[in-house]
Amino acid sequence: MAGIGHARNTDPQIGDWLNAIDPTGRDDAAKANIREARRSYDRANKLPAKLAEDLSRLTSLAQGVWASARKADNFAEFAPTLTEILNLKREEAACLQQDGGDLYDALLDGFEPGMSTENLTNILGKLRPALVALRGKIENSSFQPKPLTGRFDEAKQMEMARRLATVFNYDWDAGRMDRSVHPFSSGYRSDSRVTTRVNPENVFDCLYSAIHEVGHANYENGRDPAMDRTPAGGHASMGIHESQSRMLENQIGRSRAFMDWLYPQMVDVFGDIGVDGPDELFAVVNRVESGFIRTESDEVHYNLHVLMRFDLEQQLISGDLEVADLEEAWNDRFFADFGRKIDRASNGVLQDIHWAVGLFGYFPTYSLGNMYAAELFAAMGKTLPDRDHCIARGELSPLSNWLEDNIHRKGNVYPARDLMRQACGKEADEHALVEYLNQKFGGLYGF
């Protein structure tokens, strides 16, 4: 199937059509369609058909190998397959590489067009020491919130998740919510569906996974219907997509203001939750604890997880790090950033499926999404002075409308960098995220 797709995507007639188009006088959406069609055609033509087929075949098989190795906590079982994937990804990067460009740039461009490894390394490199310093202050604080304990009925968790989806303006006429082992969002504008998972001993995993996936779905459902099924109607980048889910989940969903709405709702659904009011719920929801798993981490540790993966996969692609040395490199870096020793491979190098399916260059878009979210939330506050009062009342339509106007309806008409300039008046960097995290956790932990 990959071979058939490659043949169609590289059909010379597409090039003839593109060459025949005169973009003069066309609107921004039409120009974006031309730009993205040309980009897709040019990238496809740089890849040999056999490479596309080999990558598809190997990464399909690799998922089962990874799952087996993860279950056995045995990285050596997966290492030979990962080595094959890495060799093919290096070959792919070499084919896509711009003259004199970085190999990693070519892979990153598939997820975050226009972003260079150099620029990204500069931004994320400044983020890491700020996060490590913040983590240290929190660990030394005399105030440490207690975790939420007890068991929460699975059916009631789904009821609460659906209430959250509704208050975050999820369009139930355009989608549905179901349970899955790993939460995800799928579909396209008028049919965008979400899932969440339930754990009787971790209700927040269900609730915040639901909010996160609703953020993705709202981005899909909020696109301009006039651009349906066109390149201009797509998403600007994976970082922009992630910003929509992370903002709903963190800046809004974990804010002190939102606890005024969430606390009585949770009591209504679950009864006594063992938390004494919105203030205490805010502390419990934002409890910081160093953990092994990226997807379960708090806001302070999440980006440290991502930055570690970003650095390691750059070294893998460049050849500075080989698969045989990856597990040791992972464990050493984790101890340096988190102060804990990895106890088993499933809590370390085997926890994510991304490399097994060939997604090199994807991880940094998570941190970009967090930075974009912080910038957008700050810009939103300047134009919506009653933003926090709306959040406290659970009246989120003004916030949703702002996101639709500034992000959703613009689709992929403008590259991510230009889209952020339009919405925020500046390019995104690490400053807004660092300021947001320091203010939030400094206030909570008393420093």
Question: Which amino acids are annotated catalytic?
Answer: 213
Contact between 413 and 35 (Cβ < 8 Å): no
Burial 99-136 (b: 16+ CB within 10 A, else e): eeebbbbbbbbbbbbebbbeebbebbeebbebbeebbe
Give the whole-angstrom CA distance, residue 291 versus residue 339.
10
Burial of 292 (0-12, 13-18, 19+ CB in 10 A): middle
Contact between 362 and 317 (Cβ < 8 Å): no
State both tokens at 61: 């098989």
The region, left, alpha or beta by phi > 0 then psi within -120 to 50, assigned to residue 176 is beta
Give the whole-angstrom CA distance, residue 365 versus residue 377.
18
Give the whole-angstrom CA distance, residue 438 versus residue 416.
26
Strands 191-196, 177-179: pairing is: parallel
